[in-house]
């Protein structure tokens, strides 16, 4: 896999490109004209505006079709910022992988630390095709330049109107700062494109606000999404706002329909287990024998026990108290053989504020236990991860969740649901 260094470039073999970044990051794509500015606020693709002509954002992956960018588009800027507002890159792994024509190109910036936003790469047009022919050649250049002004400040530099960072209130020297950045980038671009330019490159004036509605940079609810295998999603929650952290209620459902009529007739009684670890390092389990509590630790409660296909639910009322919750399902031996997937089992996480994350299963493993999803609570919000791991062969020992969020299948106690009824 070719690896780029800062300032190096590579030719792209086609117009369809995907760009992916690693780490707890927000990915932003800016479509700019030859003057280095957006034509309008629609040219900024980010978490609150995930699509534009030729650009589609899916989490930390951007799908580009360079052939259908809006008219006048000259360059695509790839930027990232930490998921948590105000956080820096210190300690965060940042790697960009660009896929084009069956080939991957990778870039890892070396100098990101205290900055709050960074331009990782630019995808731009070369005016002539190789060999002197006519046409357009798209290339990617590794940039790796970090800035301190945050995503809103960087967007404003490119001419986007941001409602919480209006360009009319720019700090002293902001215009000079913008001109210096623009001139350096513009000259590097001109040298590679090979177009004739003489004299000093003049930067456009510092962007002024558009008359259109400005973009809202506050994070919105996720809406309804479904995770891929081992995928994850961050439900935004501001833990610095004490009342929000205390009052937000998360509901987690285990849903299953039993699969087929034959499967339902044989038995399809699944049990929901919520293994928890709080911020004090304590661990425990909420299930049909210990329903938990909403008003006292662990602030997790199971609402009943369904003995037929349908739904079992837990609620979480104090996300600021918890560190991790592992959502598991148990299938008793009385159900006979059959995978959790064949039962139609899935977990659904809902914050009652517009974020609903469905966590499906993908494997046909016939075990007694499955760990489906892990919820991790931090200052960034609540991360929901598809973990899909199965119990050990022939054992009914439940999973064990550790205080640090790691877990072991088959390492917990064994209990039989109806043993007290004999």
- Residue intervals of the chain classified under CATH 2.60.60.30 are 3-193, 223-421
Q: Which residue matches tokens 């936003």?
A: 117
Answer left, alpha or beta for residue 418, where phi above 0 means left and psi between -120 and 50 means alpha: alpha
92 versus 197: the higher-pLDDT residue is 92
What confidence tier does 418 reach under pLDDT thresholds 50, 70, 90?
low
What confidence tier does 77 reach under pLDDT thresholds 50, 70, 90?
very high
Residue 324: per-residue pLDDT = 97
Which H or E run contains 156? helix 150-157
294 versus 419: the higher-pLDDT residue is 294
13 has a pLDDT exceeding 60: yes
What's the CA gap between 420 and 378, in Å, rounded? Answer: 39
Pull the structure tokens for residue 300: 């997790």
| CATH T-level fold of 223-421 | Lipoxygenase-1 (2.60.60)
What's the CA gap between 49 and 150, in Å, rounded? Answer: 17
Which H or E run contains 151? helix 150-157
From residue 63, give the alpha-carbon distance in Å to each of 13, 22, 41.
15, 15, 19
Closest alpha carbon to 23 in 102, 112, 100: 112
342 has a pLDDT exceeding 90: no
| CATH T-level fold of 3-193 | Lipoxygenase-1 (2.60.60)
What's the CA gap between 315 and 129, in Å, rounded? Answer: 59
236-294 per-position pLDDT tens digit: 876 655 565 666 789 999 999 877 777 666 667 889 999 999 999 999 999 999 999 99
Q: Which residue matches tokens 């030729």?
A: 54
The 3-state DSSP class for residue 247 equals helix
Quick one: average pLDDT of 144-156? 89
What's the CA gap between 96 and 105, in Å, rounded? Answer: 8
Helix residue ranges, H only, 158-274: 174-193, 242-247, 261-266
256 versus 193: the higher-pLDDT residue is 256
Any idea how long the chain is?
A: 422
Q: Which residue matches tokens 């661990």?
A: 283
Strands (E), 46-186: 51-52, 55-58, 61-65, 75-82, 96-100, 103-107, 117-126, 137-147
Q: Which residues, in sequence order, are bridge partners of residue 97?
A: 20, 106
What's the CA gap between 181 and 338, in Å, rounded? Answer: 61
Contact between 34 and 74 (Cβ < 8 Å): yes
pTM over 0.85: no
Residue 104 has φ and ψ, to the nearest 5°, of -110, 145
What rounded mean pLDDT belongs to the chain?
A: 81
How many CB atoms lie under 10 A from the CB of residue 66? 20
User: With 0-12 CB in 10 A as exposed, 13-18 as middle and 19+ as buried, what is 202?
Assistant: exposed
From residue 295, give the alpha-carbon distance in Å to each of 34, 89, 151, 292.
59, 37, 39, 9
Residue 179: per-residue pLDDT = 41
């Amino acid at each position: 896999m070719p690896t780029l260094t800062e300032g190096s470039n590579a030719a792209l073999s086609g117009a369809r490109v995907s760009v992916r970044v690693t780490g707890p990051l927000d990915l932003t794509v800016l479509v700019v004209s030859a003057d280095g500015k957006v034509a309008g606020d629609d040219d900024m693709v980010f978490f609150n505006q995930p699509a534009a002509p030729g650009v589609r954002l899916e989490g930390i992956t951007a799908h580009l079709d360079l052939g259908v960018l809006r008219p006048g588009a000259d360059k695509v800027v790839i930027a990232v910022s930490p998921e948590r507002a105000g956080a820096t890159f210190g300690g965060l792994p940042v790697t960009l992988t660009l896929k084009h024509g069956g080939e991957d190109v990778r870039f890892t910036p070396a100098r990101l630390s205290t900055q709050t936003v960074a331009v990782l790469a630019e995808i731009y047009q070369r005016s002539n095709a190789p060999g002197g022919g006519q046409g357009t050649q798209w290339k990617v250049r590794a940039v790796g330049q970090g800035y301190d002004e945050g995503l809103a400040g960087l967007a404003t530099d490119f001419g986007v109107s941001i409602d919480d960072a209006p360009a009319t209130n720019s700090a002293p020297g902001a215009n000079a700062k913008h001109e210096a950045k623009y001139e350096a980038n513009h000259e590097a671009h001109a040298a590679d494109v090979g177009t004739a330019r003489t004299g000093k490159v003049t930067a456009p004036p510092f962007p002024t606000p558009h008359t259109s509605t400005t973009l809202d940079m506050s994070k919105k609810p996720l809406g309804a999404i479904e995770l891929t295998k081992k995928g994850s999603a961050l439900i935004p929650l501001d833990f610095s706002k004490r009342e929000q952290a205390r009052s937000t209620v998360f509901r987690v459902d285990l849903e299953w329909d039993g699969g087929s009529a034959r499967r339902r007739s044989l038995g399809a009684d699944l049990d929901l287990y919520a293994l928890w670890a709080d911020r004090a390092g304590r661990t425990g389990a909420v299930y049909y024998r210990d329903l938990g509590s909403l008003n006292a630790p662990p602030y997790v409660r199971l609402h009943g026990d369904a003995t037929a296909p349908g739904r079992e639910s837990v609620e979480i009322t104090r996300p600021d108290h918890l560190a991790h919750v592992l959502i598991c399902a148990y299938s008793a031996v009385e159900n006979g053989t059959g995978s959790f997937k064949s039962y139609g089992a899935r977990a659904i996480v809902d914050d009652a504020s517009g974020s609903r994350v469905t966590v499906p299963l993908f494997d046909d493993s016939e075990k007694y236990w499955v760990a489906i999803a892990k919820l991790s609570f931090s200052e960034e919000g609540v991360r929901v991860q598809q973990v899909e791991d199965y119990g050990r062969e022939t054992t009914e020992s439940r999973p064990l969740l550790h205080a640090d969020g790691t877990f072991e299948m088959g390492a917990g106690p064994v209990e039989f649901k109806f043993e007290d009824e004999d």
